[in-house]
Structure 1
Amino acid sequence: MDNQFPLPGPTNLTPLPPANGASPVPSGSKPLPAPEEASPPPPGYRPPSAAEAPVVKPSLLKIILPIAGGLLLLGLIIFFISRLLAGGPSESRQVTPGQATTLTYWGLWEPVQVMKPLIDEFERQNPSIKIDYQLQAPQDYQDRLATALESNNPPDIVRLHTTWLPAFASNLLPSPANTISATEMSTNFYPIINRLLVVDTQVYGIPLAAEGLGLFINNTMFQQKSLQPPKTWEDLDSAARALKDVDALTGKINRAGVALGNTTNVDHWPDIVSLMLFQSGVNLYDPKGEELETTLRYYTQFVTKDHVWDDTLPSSVVAFANEKVAMIFAPTWRAREIKEINPTLAWRVVPVPQLPDSDVINWASVWFEGVPRNGKHPKEAWTFLNFLASAQAQQILFESAAKDREYPQPPAHKAVATIAQNNPVIAPFVNSLESARSFYTAGNTQDSATGLNARLIKYLEDAVNGITLGQDVAKTLETLNQGFRQVLNQYGISSTGRTGQ
Structure 2
Amino acid sequence: MHRSIGALALLTCLAACGTATPQKGPTTITVWDYYGSSTPIKPVVGEFERTHPGIKVDYQAYDYETMRQKYATAVSSGTAPDVATLDMTWIPAYAAKKTLAELPDKPLDTLYGKGALEAMRFDGHFVTALYDFDAYALYYRKDLIKDPPKTWNDLISTASSLRKGKFQVLPDTFHFAQFLYQAGGDLVQNGKAVFQGPQGVRALTQLRELLKRGGVYWGDDQGDSSGIAGVKDGRIAMFLNGPYMMGVLKDGAPDQKGKWAIAPAPIDVQPGSYLGGTGLSIPVSSEHRDAAWQFIQFLLQPPQQVKVFTQAGAAPATEAALKDPALTMPDPYFGGQQTFPVFQQALGTAHHYPYVKQWTDVDRAVQDAVTAALLDKKSPQQALSDAAKEVDDLLVD
Query: Which interval holds the TM-score relative to the shorter structure?
Result: 0.7 to 0.9
Query: In the alignment, which residue of structure 2 is the partner of 1:173?
Result: 101
Please give the secondary structure, in 2, of the residue aligned with 1:349.
Answer: strand
Q: Is the 8 A contact 1:318 1:338 kept in 2?
A: no
**Partner residue in 2 for 1:42:** none
Q: Are 1:372 and 2:286 an aligned pair?
A: no
C-alpha distance 280-107 of structure 1, shift in aligned 2 (>3 A) = same
Equivalent of 1:292 in 184, 187, 200: 200
Matched residues, number:
360
How far the C-alpha of 1:479 sits from its partner, in A, is: 0.7
Per-residue CA deviation, residues 425-476 of structure 1 (Å, 9 max, x unaligned), is 33311221111112259xxxxxxxx962354233333244236425355543
Structure 1 residues 172 and 124: CA distance shift in structure 2, 3 A: same
> Any idea what the Cα deviations from partners look like across 1:396-422, whole Å, max 9, x if unmatched?
242x344435xx322211122122333
Of 160, 170, 175, the match for 1:272: 175
TM-score under structure 2 length normalisation: 0.80
Cα distance in 2 for residues equivalent to 1:422 and 1:344: 21
Q: 1:156-184 deviations in whole A, cap 9, x for unaligned?
A: 21122333334323222223xxxxx3253
Q: Which of 230, 233, 239 is the matching residue for 1:322?
A: 233
| TM-superposed deviation, 1:276 | 0.4
Q: 1:410 aligns with which of 302, 315, 318?
A: 315
Q: How far apart, in 2, do the equivalents of 1:327 and 1:242 lie?
A: 12
Q: 1:13 to 1:206 in 2, by over 3 A?
A: closer
Report the TM-score, using the length of structure 1 for normalisation.
Answer: 0.65
Q: Mark the structure with the bigger radius of gyration.
A: 1
Q: CA deviation at 1:218?
A: 1.4
Distance 2:379 2:39 in 1: 53
Preserved CA contact (<8 Å) 1:161 1:368: yes
With over 3 angstroms needed to count, the CA separation of the structure-2 counterparts of 1:115 and 1:388, relative to structure 1, is closer
Cα separation, partners in 2 of 1:425 and 1:317, compared to 1, 3 Å: farther
Greater strand content: 2
Question: Partners in 2 of 1:17 and 1:338 — Cα distance?
Answer: 45
- Find the counterpart in structure 2 of residue 118 from structure 1: 44
For structure 2, the residue ranges without an aligned partner over 5 or more in a row are 1-14, 189-193, 331-337
> In structure 2, what residue type is equivalent to 1:439?
Y
Match for 1:16: what amino acid?
T
Work out which of the residue numbers 165, 170, 175 in structure 2 matches 1:256. Answer: 165
Q: Which amino acid aligns with 2:319?
A: K
Residue 100 of structure 1 pairs with residue 32 of structure 2 = no
- RMSD (Å) for aligned C-alpha atoms: 2.9
d(CA) in 2 for partners of 1:375, 1:351: 41
The answer (yes or no) to whether the contact 1:217–1:326 under 8 Å persists in 2 is yes
User: Which structure would you say has the larger RCO, counting Cα contacts within 8 Å and 6 or more residues apart?
Assistant: 2
Unaligned runs of 5+ in 1: 1-11, 22-98, 176-180, 245-254, 264-268, 442-449, 491-501
Q: Cα offset for 1:219?
A: 2.4
Task: State the partner residue of 1:439.
Answer: 353
Displacement after TM superposition at 1:154 (Å): 2.4
1:125-175 Cα offsets, whole Å, 9 max, x none, are: 211112222111222432211221233432121122333334323222223
CA distance in 2, matches of 1:414, 1:153: 34
In the other structure, the counterpart of 2:191 is none
Q: Secondary structure at the match of 2:274?
A: strand
Query: Do the aligned residues in 1 keep the contact of 2:165 with 2:235 (CA within 8 Å)?
Result: yes
CA contact (8 A) 1:156 1:376 kept: yes
Distance verdict in 2 for CA 1:14–1:404, change over 3 Å: closer
Contact 1:117 1:397 in 2 (8 A): no
Deviations 1:85-112 (A, max 9, x none): xxxxxxxxxxxxxx22221100112536
Structure holding more helix per residue: 2
Aligned-pair CA distance for 1:373:
1.8
